[in-house]
Structure 1
Amino acid sequence: MTDDRRWLRFGLIGLYGFIGVVHLAAPESFLPIMPAWVPQPRLVVIATGLCEIATALALMLPWPGLRRAAGIGLALYAVCVFPANIKHAVEGISVPPIPDTWWYHGPRLAFQPVMVWWALYTTRVIDWPFRKRG
């Protein structure tokens, strides 16, 4: 693995490991931004926290197949949480200590596709846009 992917992987491990712990430690903080159509929202918050921690751990292991599966899982997760991020932004829901401003929400929403790419690139599911041309 090249150094750029290794450091990106470490970033994902730290980010999703931390967010997973926060989901487990304070699930109530995430309930206000859950769309109404999500069943059992508290259980979903706890389950996503466990999944975030599990994928972060999988990214630490030396098995490329498991890392790829974790990358795909994180990419799908980033897509699945997008409705909650939109609700959070559009409805102006206050979730301290997160700033309730479009200076926060705008970049967060715009960064979501980058999160998908980051998970897939780091785990070698894709090489775009750095693939060597033949």
Structure 2
Amino acid sequence: MKATGKIFLWIYALFYVLAGCNHFLSTAVYYVIMPKWLPAPGFLIYLSGIIEIALGILLLFTKTRKYAAVCIILMLIAFLPAHIYMIQMAPFMLGKILVTPLIAWLRLPIQLLFIAWAWFYYVKG
């Protein structure tokens, strides 16, 4: 992998590790965007944080990169109901941030970008 590819890999992996840590640091924020029909929201918030941290770390190793990439894609697909729920709820406050309908809608293509990014690491290994 070229130097640029490694830099983007580290950025992508770090993003998931930090996002996962944020589930423990800002738990209340995740309760706001958790669809009400999902059971045990606290458990799901912490579980998804652990999974994000683990997958971010697994991305860094050649032997586990493809596995991590596929799992990230599946995880991001599993998170789509939360993003759709955000669109339905907007406008609302997410911590100190006002999530407008436009912001909620813009999150969906960003999810597709993250899925494509993971797919790249699945294909390239």
Say whether the 8 Å CA contact 1:13–1:59 is kept in structure 2. Answer: yes
What is aligned with 2:35? 35
Are 2:88 and 1:90 equivalent residues in the alignment?
yes
C-alpha distance after superposition, 1:58-115 (max 9, x if no partner): 1223xx2311111111111111111101111221232123331234222211211111
Indicate the structure with greater strand content: 2
Task: Give the number of the structure whose alpha-carbon radius of gyration is greater.
Answer: 1
Unaligned runs of 5+ in 2: none
C-alpha distance after superposition, 1:8-42 (max 9, x if no partner): 21121121111111101222211121112211111
SS of residue paired to 1:8: helix
How far is 1:126 from its partner?
2.6
Q: 1:99 to 1:10 in 2, by over 3 A?
A: farther
What is aligned with 1:19? 19
SS of residue paired to 1:39: coil
Say whether the 8 Å CA contact 1:24–1:50 is kept in structure 2. Answer: no
Indicate the structure with greater helix content: 2
Say whether the 8 Å CA contact 1:27–1:45 is kept in structure 2. Answer: yes
What is aligned with 2:74? 76
For 1:1-134, list aligned pairs within 5 A: 1-61=1-61, 64-92=62-90, 93-121=92-120, 123=121, 125-126=122-123
Count of aligned pairs between the two proteins? 123
Q: Percent identical across equivalent pairs?
A: 23
Aligned CA RMSD, in angstroms, stands at: 1.7
Which runs of 4 or more aligned residues in structure 1 lie more than 3 Å from their structure 2 counterparts after TM superposition? none
Unaligned runs of 5+ in 1: 128-134
Name the TM-score, length of structure 1 as normaliser.
0.81
Name the TM-score, length of structure 2 as normaliser.
0.87
**Alpha-carbon distance between aligned partners in 2 of 1:47 and 1:13, rounded to the nearest angstrom:** 18
